């Protein structure tokens, strides 16, 4: 069934199976679907059509479509040719912008191997994409060139992935030495990334020292610079003749050099 709304032809159907999910579009949100169902229950169905392309792939309104399906309500739709993922992203900017997770899922749907490897790391190590991206950009051949993960320009080979697996395994092992409530902190993660890159550190010695440190010691250390200072103190105290180590992030080292004209 179809009729005109101004100069746009609007169709209506209860045959929900004619609609398709657009590869690269983000997935439906159970939370959004439930809110739509609740809203319809309160005020009735609003006559807001969903938008599809000429292949009946949903460009805008897939949560509404699913809500109508569950409530057995007819769905109104407008068809417009030659619309794809870019249109999906653009239409969602004003009310429900795409997250990094949405972009990554979209690129994976389009069989982008770089993003498939990225998502595998995300799922294996339970790390946010922001944390993974921070480590990605330290590897020369593995980059998101100045535009972040949303750009679709991530380069990650299988060799890059294996390198990152080793790094994240080491970082997670190091973080496991800290009190549990601190392990998911971004500041502790960044400190762990920095410390585990230092080749002149006896990492096993430091990890044993951290495990023996009372949990309450870490309560007041909640930013990267402070955590690195604490780790330095733990490492250097009665360290059996090991070289004294001062952990400083690149940012802190640059501030020291500007102030004193030399490396800390």
The tens digit of pLDDT for each residue in 40-60 reads 888 887 788 989 999 999 998
Which tokens belong to 30? 């159970």
CB 118 within 8 A of CB 132: yes
∠ Cα 100 89 96 (to 5°): 70
Residue 91's DSSP bridge partners are none
Q: In this model, does residue 221 exceed pLDDT 60?
A: yes
Determine the pLDDT at residue 263.
Answer: 45
Average pLDDT score, the chain = 84
User: Which tens digits make up the pLDDT trace of 144-192?
Assistant: 555 578 888 898 999 999 999 999 999 999 999 999 888 888 899 999 9
| The architecture CATH gives domain 2-97 | Alpha-Beta Complex (3.90)
Query: Residue 68: pLDDT band by 50, 70, 90 thresholds?
Result: very high
Q: Domain residues of the chain, as ranges? A: 2-97, 103-260
Determine the pLDDT at residue 238.
Answer: 77
Determine the pLDDT at residue 66.
Answer: 94
| SS3 of the chain | CEEEECCEEEEEECCHHHCEECCCCCCCCHHHHHHHHHHHHHHCCCCCCEEECCCCEEEECHHHHHHHHHHCCCEEEEECCCCCHHHHHHHHCCCCCCCHHHHHHHHHHCCCHHHHHHHHHHHHHCCCHHHHHHHHCCCCCCCCCCCCHHHCCCCCCHHHHHHHHHHHHHHHHHHCCCCHHHCCCHHHHHHHHHHCCCCCCCHHHHHHHHHHCCHHHHCCCCCHHHHHHHHHHHHHCCCCCCCCCCCCCHHHHHHHHHHHCCCC
Kindly list the distances between the CA atom of residue 235 and the CA atoms of 177, 186, 246, in Å, as whole numbers in the listed order. Answer: 14, 22, 9
Q: 94 vs 124, which has greater pLDDT?
A: 124
Q: 13 vs 85, which has greater pLDDT?
A: 13
Q: What is the pTM of this model?
A: 0.67
Query: Residue 2: pLDDT band by 50, 70, 90 thresholds?
Result: very low
Determine the pLDDT at residue 91.
Answer: 74
Determine the pLDDT at residue 142.
Answer: 63
Which tokens belong to 143? 């980059």
Average pLDDT, integer, range 126-144: 79
Q: In this model, does residue 259 exceed pLDDT 50?
A: no
């Amino acid at each position: 069934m179809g009729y005109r709304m101004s100069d746009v032809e609007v169709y209506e159907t209860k045959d929900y199976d004619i609609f398709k999910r657009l590869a690269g579009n983000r997935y439906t949100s159970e939370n959004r679907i439930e809110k739509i169902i609740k809203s319809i229950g309160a005020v009735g169905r609003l006559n807001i059509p969903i938008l599809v392309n000429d292949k009946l792939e949903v460009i805008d309104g897939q949560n509404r479509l699913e809500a109508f399906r569950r409530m057995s309500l007819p769905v109104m739709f407008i068809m417009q040719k030659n619309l794809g993922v870019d249109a999906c992203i653009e239409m969602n900017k004003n009310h429900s912008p795409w997250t990094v997770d949405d972009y990554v899922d979209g690129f994976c749907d389009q069989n982008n191997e770089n993003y498939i490897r990225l998502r595998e790391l995300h799922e294996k190590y339970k790390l946010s994409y922001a944390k993974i991206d921070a480590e990605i950009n330290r590897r020369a051949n593995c980059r998101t060139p100045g535009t972040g993960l949303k750009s679709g320009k991530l380069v990650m080979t299988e060799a890059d992935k294996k390198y990152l697996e080793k790094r994240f395994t080491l970082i997670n092992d190091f973080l496991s030495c800290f009190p549990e409530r601190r392990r998911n902190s971004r500041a502790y993660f960044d400190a762990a990334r920095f410390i585990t890159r230092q080749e002149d550190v006896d990492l096993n010695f430091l990890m044993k020292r951290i495990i023996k440190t009372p949990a309450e010691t870490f309560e007041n250390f909640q930013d990267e610079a402070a955590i690195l200072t604490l780790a330095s103190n733990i490492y250097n105290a009665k360290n059996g003749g090991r070289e004294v180590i001062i952990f400083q992030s690149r940012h802190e080292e640059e501030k020291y050099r500007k102030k004193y004209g030399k490396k800390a």
